[in-house]
Structure 1
Amino acid sequence: MDFIMPFLQDRWYVIIAAIVVLFIVVRIVKTIVKWVIIVAVLAGLWFYGASYKDKLVELGTTAVNSAVSEVKDQAVKAITNEAKEAQYKANPDGSFTISTKSLKLEGKPGTSEVKVTFMNQTFTMKADDMVNALIDQAKKNTKQ
């Protein structure tokens, strides 16, 4: 039943059209067929609204995936643009932290993934050639 309010807010014109059809049927048709048509319209409206919930979930998933992809793309751009300013810090537990003005990378040497914090969002990335180049550049920047 939680699909009703979003359905009503987004598809109010479908409800209005169904109400108009129902009034026309009630005024014109005077037999038992009238009630069959009314029940059919209401059932169709109910099933259309129930399937709307699935569309909302699908739209939400698509939006989230798109946003995550965009944030990762922006983080990759920041990595390449800010490599010269990166600072390397070795932590006591053997891990490392690399900081620039807009992102932070955390990981352990030899692992294939690093944790990236960019625009207050944290996600994991594969430690590919670009990330390894940032790590090497940060080490060089810290030694200078």
Structure 2
Amino acid sequence: MDVQVWTEFLQENWLVIVVALVILFLVLNFVKTLVKWALVLVIAAFIIIYSGITLKDIGDAVTTVKDQAVSISQSEALNMMKNEAKEAKFTQNADGSFTIKTPNLEVNGTPGSDKVKVMFRGVSLGEWSVNSTLETFIKEAKQNSQ
């Protein structure tokens, strides 16, 4: 780092630097918090756009994280089905559908359908295809309720 280069730069651009510092001082002292954050977001967006990161890249990252979280929740729910099958209570609803409840799970479906809705600790995990673990869980819940 050459001191002569810096002094020459400051001598040539002193007016721009002073104006920028005055504007920065005014912004920091007079602009409301919301506007400050808006300016920060604009600058951050500019940096992100300038760096080459696209909204598609951000969307892909969010989708990946969501898929991983759902996968972890599904595997945890399947383990919970195995552990809580003895506590499962089967209820036949008036419309022909059924509900199975355990302390952490709720499974809703209709007899003969290959899809059930699964809720794990109050959070919907969506519709699942009935697999061997679910079939065993449903059978054991029916036996517990008889």
The TM-score range, normalised by the shorter chain, is 0.5 to 0.7
- The 5-angstrom pairing of residues 81-100 of structure 1 reads 81-100=83-102
| 1:141 and 2:140 matched | no
| 1:48 and 2:64 matched | no
TM norm structure 2: 0.65
Over the matched positions of the two proteins, sequence identity in percent amounts to 32
Structure 2: distance between partners of 1:8 and 1:46: 9
TM norm structure 1: 0.66
Q: How many aligned residue pairs are there?
A: 106
Q: Which runs of 4+ in 1 moved over 6 A?
A: none
- The 5-angstrom pairing of residues 1-144 of structure 1 reads 5=41, 8=44, 46-49=49-52, 51-122=53-124, 123-143=126-146
CA, structure 1 residues 55+73, in 2 after alignment: closer, same or farther (shift >3 Å)?
same
CA, structure 1 residues 124+5, in 2 after alignment: closer, same or farther (shift >3 Å)?
same
Structure 2: distance between partners of 1:78 and 1:6: 46
CA, structure 1 residues 7+136, in 2 after alignment: closer, same or farther (shift >3 Å)?
farther
Larger C-alpha radius of gyration, 1 or 2? 2
Structure 2: distance between partners of 1:112 and 1:99: 19
Unaligned residue ranges in structure 1 (runs of 5+):
16-44
Kindly provide the amino acid, as one letter, of the partner of residue 135 in structure 1: I
Unaligned residue ranges in structure 2 (runs of 5+):
1-39
